[in-house]
Structures are given as C-alpha cells and as structure tokens.
Amino acid sequence: MKLQSRRKAVESLSSVVKIGTSRQLIIPKKIHDRLGLAPGDYLEVELRDHKVILTPKGLVEKRLAEALDDVKRGRVQGPFRSANEMLRSLPHVRKTSP
C-alpha cells in the first residue's frame, strides 16, 4: 500500500507498513534495495519531533557491536606482553620460538 502525499518530494519513497505483534515492521523492498540493506545490518532508531527516524549504520558500527558482544560473552584473550605473544595465540598462525 502506498501513502499518498500532497508534498512534492525530491527522490523520496514512502509506504505504509503495519507493526507486528512483537513490534516488528517490514521495510518495503524498494526502500530496502535503495539503501543497500542486507540481513544482519544495523539501523539506528531515533525519535525526533514525534517521528521515528531509521538510519543505516555502517560497517564500523556493526563490527564494534559484534566486538562488544564478544567481550560481554567472554570471547576474548589476553592481555599480551607483546605482539608476537598475541600472534602465537592465534590458532591459524604457525607457532615459532621467539
């Protein structure tokens, strides 16, 4: 279903979507594709002047969120006394003597 508006918008897309029982909504395909979104991407949700603003967050924010989750779940190693010590702890790096 498309939302009709009297405003002239330069390259804007709008749609009406229904909020599901668990507060989920589906981003319409045209908007999803235009933004280049993919499963697992992050969106910032902001309330501004009684409007909900969804802003795609870049790879840095996504990786940072994943790293913070690793720390919270204890999936970290270290501290290390040197870079070589850290490299030797990696499973794919051949162990050599210092």
The helix/strand/coil state of 31 is: helix
**Residue 62: what pLDDT?**
73
The helix/strand/coil state of 46 is: strand
Task: Compute, in degrees rounded to 10, the torsion defined by CA atoms 12, 18, 19, 22.
Answer: -130
**Residue 55: what pLDDT?**
92
The structural domains of the chain, ordered by start, are: 1-57 (2.10.260), 58-98 (no CATH)
Nearest-angstrom CA–CA distance, 61 and 67: 10
**Do residues 56 and 42 make contact, with C-beta atoms less than 8 angstroms apart?**
yes
pTM: 0.48
Residue 65 has a CB neighbour count (10 Å cut-off) of 12
Residues with Cβ within 8 Å of residue 41, at least 6 apart in sequence: 56, 57, 62
Nearest-angstrom CA–CA distance, 61 and 63: 6
* Per-residue confidence in pLDDT tens, the chain, 98 aa: 444 444 444 567 889 999 999 999 999 999 999 988 988 888 999 999 999 999 988 767 777 888 899 999 998 888 999 999 988 888 876 655 55
